[in-house]
């Protein structure tokens, strides 16, 4: 079974489609053939039954004549010469005529003779015994009764082969009608013998009682099984004075055996025969009904068989037509999908993975950018191209997103086989099956390495420009440009330890070099004065914060907006004693609070034209004293908790070997 499924899975979609079409078509054909065979066998059985209807009709005629012959024979034996022998011979002639027709039918149709055949062959020998009075009336009665009974059994064997419920009910109703007729024939024969003998002996009485019991049972069953049409016909025809008289005589004979009425046997025989002949008419009507229904069933089966054949042909044609249309549609869609795939493969980096992240497909673009071959990538986890610079959180978020059934989009830094980095703009889509379960993932990427490198170059150029602009402000006051770089790195470290976002950290570090850019607007004689400033000069000097703010406040660029804030607020003090606006506590922007600490720490440790650099311990003592006054206490605590890192930055960007202040 597994091999079959593997072979099926290896087929193309067109061949699978053909297989899917072929399977139901074969099922439909086999089902139709089975149903057609069922209809054919049913029709064949009905035709066989139709052939046996003629046999049934002749059996009924033969039984009728034998029943009459039984009555005549009983009267002949009981009359002891008083009976008119001519009537018996005439009846035998009628019986022989029907028997000849019956034998001819059996021979012509090749029908099995049936169990009654040996008894029929012995009929001549029994007639001889009857003619010579070699047997008693009861023995003659039993012989003919046994012969009729065997014929009824032959008929019942036919009934058992009928599968149609309605027809079987009609045949069973006819069976009971035959039983009614036979039991009345037995009572006719028994009473005929009694009337000829003038006495009802024990054997005759027993036969009479048994026949009456069988009659009552058969009549009850006939009422149950006969159709309403047949019962109506039965009630209409089996009635009249002769029928009533016959039953009255039978009832009196059973009830009052010793004192039964004495009746002319000839009169009794004619009376009872007239009544039984009415049953013969009903019997023929019943056979005609069965024959008509049987013909209708045969025609119906033939028509159904034709309809099934036509419907099967139509279904096969439709399946082929729909299969052709679907196959053509699939071919067209497959062609379009191939074109779409080729278009995507030519323009994008494509890969597919299973639910565990193992690579199942990559295109040429993927191999080209990663430097790996297909054999090196197929079956490997996608982490084979992961760059260590990409945070694990990115991949955790990615897997959470796609495993939930949503698409993930983002920029990822990868690493090629030779170790070189490359960047892609990736969209990863989960592919769902018909039940909505994830089957695989497909990732479509664009190579944005050149864009990232250009962006990095622009950022570096921009940062360099910002640093240079910051240095302009510092060089006007004859301070080294390393000051702005140290302030930027101090600010970066403080911001990181404070818990600002990566974007805010980079923004602060990039903009902090411009904290004193407003000094470009301060006259040289004030900016570079070696001695103390007058109050008027100090006011001018303090205006550099406002000048720096005014330079950038109208910019729409986030970095220049940050530079405006830093320039404006880096001289504010936590206790509100700073300038230019006297802001207090957290009303001072965090960028201003951080830059203030970074600027003072570096300025006190650097030589200026108006002072010498302070010793480190003196600087640290001042910072502790100014905790909560000049500086944010939280930032002071961060500074001292990570003092070694700040001192390392100071040493890394030292300018002692490159600059001596010119005062």
Q: Which domains does the chain have, with CATH numbers?
A: 2-311 (no CATH), 348-447 (3.30.450.20), 453-652 (1.10.3210.10)
In whole angstroms, give the CA distance from residue 432 to residue 441: 9
Smallest CA-to-CA distance from 442 within 370, 368, 348 is with: 348
Q: What is the mean pLDDT of the chain?
A: 82
DSSP code of residue 571: T
Residue 313 has pLDDT above 70, yes or no: yes
In whole angstroms, give the CA distance from residue 219 to residue 221: 6
User: Going by C-beta distance under 8 Å and a sequence separation of 6 or more, which residues neighbour residue 102?
Assistant: 55, 58, 59, 61, 62
Lowest mean pLDDT among 156-170, 317-331, 504-518, 529-543: 156-170
**Mean pLDDT of the 346-356 span:** 82
Residues 519-545 have pLDDT tens digits of 888 888 887 787 788 888 888 888 888
SS (H, E, C) 320-333: HHHHHHHHHHHHHH
pLDDT band, very low/low/confident/very high, at 636 (cuts 50, 70, 90): very high
Residue 244 has pLDDT above 90, yes or no: yes
Which pTM does this prediction carry? 0.48
Smallest CA-to-CA distance from 424 within 354, 339, 373, 351 is with: 351
Is the distance from CB of 188 to CB of 274 less than 8 angstroms? Answer: no
**Mean pLDDT of the 267-289 span:** 92
Residue 111 has pLDDT above 60, yes or no: no
What confidence score (pLDDT) does residue 273 get?
A: 92
Residues composing the chain: 663
Number of CB atoms found within 10 A of residue 39's CB: 20
**Mean pLDDT of the 82-101 span:** 89
* Pairing, β 438-447 against β 359-362: unpaired
What confidence score (pLDDT) does residue 663 get?
A: 43
Residue 569 has pLDDT above 90, yes or no: yes
What confidence score (pLDDT) does residue 468 get?
A: 57
Residues 648-663 have pLDDT tens digits of 999 888 865 444 444 4
Q: What are the strands of the beta sheet with 349-353, ordered from one edge?
A: 359-362, 349-353, 438-447, 421-432, 408-415
In whole angstroms, give the CA distance from residue 627 to residue 574: 9
Residues 577-607 have pLDDT tens digits of 999 999 999 999 999 999 999 999 998 887 7
Residues 281-292 have pLDDT tens digits of 998 998 888 888
Residues 130-171 have pLDDT tens digits of 999 999 999 999 999 988 888 888 777 776 667 777 788 888
Residue 21 has pLDDT above 80, yes or no: no
What confidence score (pLDDT) does residue 235 get?
A: 92
In whole angstroms, give the CA distance from residue 636 to residue 625: 10
Number of CB atoms found within 10 A of residue 347's CB: 11
Half-sphere exposure of 19 (CA within 13 A, CB side): 12
Residue 502 has pLDDT above 80, yes or no: yes
Whole-number Cα distances in Å, 212 to 185, 199, 481, 643:
11, 19, 139, 130
DSSP code of residue 383: G
* 102-116, 154-168, 286-300, range with greatest mean pLDDT: 286-300
pLDDT band, very low/low/confident/very high, at 629 (cuts 50, 70, 90): very high
Is the sign of the CA dihedral 210, 212, 215, 216 positive or negative?
A: negative
């Amino acid at each position: 079974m597994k091999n079959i499924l593997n072979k099926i899975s290896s087929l193309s979609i067109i061949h699978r489609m053909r297989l899917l079409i072929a399977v139901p078509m074969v099922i439909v054909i086999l089902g139709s053939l089975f149903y057609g065979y069922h209809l054919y066998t049913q029709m064949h059985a009905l035709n066989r039954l139709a052939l046996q209807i003629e046999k049934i009709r002749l059996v009924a005629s033969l039984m009728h004549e034998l029943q009459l012959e039984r009555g005549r024979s009983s009267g002949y034996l009981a009359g002891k010469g008083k009976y008119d022998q001519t009537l018996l011979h005439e009846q035998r002639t009628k019986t022989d005529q029907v028997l000849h027709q019956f034998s001819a039918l059996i021979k012509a149709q090749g029908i099995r003779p049936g169990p009654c055949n040996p008894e029929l062959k012995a009929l001549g020998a029994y007639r001889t015994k009857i003619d010579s009075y070699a047997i008693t009336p009861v023995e003659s009665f039993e012989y003919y009764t046994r012969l009729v009974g065997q014929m009824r059994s032959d008929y019942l064997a036919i009934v058992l082969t009928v599968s149609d419920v309605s027809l079987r009910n009609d045949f069973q109703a006819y069976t009971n009608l035959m039983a009614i007729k036979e039991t009345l024939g037995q009572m006719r024969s028994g009473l005929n013998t009694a009337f000829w003998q003038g006495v009802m002996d024990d054997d005759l009485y027993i036969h009479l009682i048994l026949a009456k019991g069988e009659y009552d049972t058969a009549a009850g069953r006939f009422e149950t099984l006969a159709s309403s049409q047949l019962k109506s016909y039965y009630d209409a025809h089996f009635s009249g004075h002769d029928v009533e008289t016959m039953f009255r005589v039978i009832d009196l004979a059973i009830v009052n055996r010793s004192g039964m009425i004495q009746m002319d046997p000839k009169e009794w025989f004619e009376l009872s025969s007239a009544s039984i002949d009415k049953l013969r008419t009903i019997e023929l009507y019943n056979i005609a009904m069965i024959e008509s229904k049987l013909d209708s069933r045969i025609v119906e089966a033939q028509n159904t068989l034709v309809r099934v054949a036509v419907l099967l042909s139509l279904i096969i044609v439709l399946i082929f037509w729909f299969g052709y249309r679907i196959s053509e549609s699939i071919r067209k869609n497959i062609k379009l999908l191939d074109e779409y795939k080729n278009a995507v493969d030519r323009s994008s980096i494509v890969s597919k993975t299973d639910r565990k992240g193992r690579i199942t497909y990559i295109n040429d673009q993927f191999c080209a950018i990663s430097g790996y071959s297909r054999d090196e990538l197929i079956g490997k986890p996608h982490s084979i191209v992961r760059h260590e610079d990409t945070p694990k959180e990115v991949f955790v978020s990615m897997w959470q997103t796609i495993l939930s059934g949503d698409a993930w989009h983002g920029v990822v830094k990868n690493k090629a086989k030779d170790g070189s980095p490359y960047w892609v703009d990736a969209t990863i889509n989960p592919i769902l099956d018909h039940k909505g379960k994830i089957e695989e993932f497909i990732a479509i990427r664009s190579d944005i390495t050149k864009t990232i490198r250009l962006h990095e170059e622009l950022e570096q150029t921009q940062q360099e420009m910002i640093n240079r602009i910051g240095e302009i402000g510092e060089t006007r006051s004859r301070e080294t440009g390393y000051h702005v770089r140290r302030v930027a790195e101090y600010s970066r470290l403080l911001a990181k330890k404070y818990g600002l976002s990566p974007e805010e950290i980079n923004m602060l570090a990039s903009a902090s070099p411009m904290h004193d850019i407003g000094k470009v607007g301060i006259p040289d004689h004030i900016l570079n004065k070696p001695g103390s400033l007058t109050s008027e000069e100090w006011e001018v000097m303090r205006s550099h914060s406002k000048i720096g703010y005014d330079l950038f406040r109208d910019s729409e660029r986030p970095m220049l907006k940050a530079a405006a804030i830093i320039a404006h607020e880096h001289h504010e003090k936590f206790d509100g004693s700073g300038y230019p606006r006297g802001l207090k506590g957290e009303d001072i922007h965090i960028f201003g609070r951080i830059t203030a600490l970074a600027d003072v720490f570096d300025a006190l440790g650097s030589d200026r034209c108006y002072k010498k650099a302070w010793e480190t311990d003196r600087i640290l003592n001042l910072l502790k004293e100014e905790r909560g006054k000049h500086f944010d206490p939280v930032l002071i605590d961060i500074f001292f908790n990570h003092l070694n890192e700040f001192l390392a930055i100071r040493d890394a960007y030292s300018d002692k070997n490159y600059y001596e202040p010119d005062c």
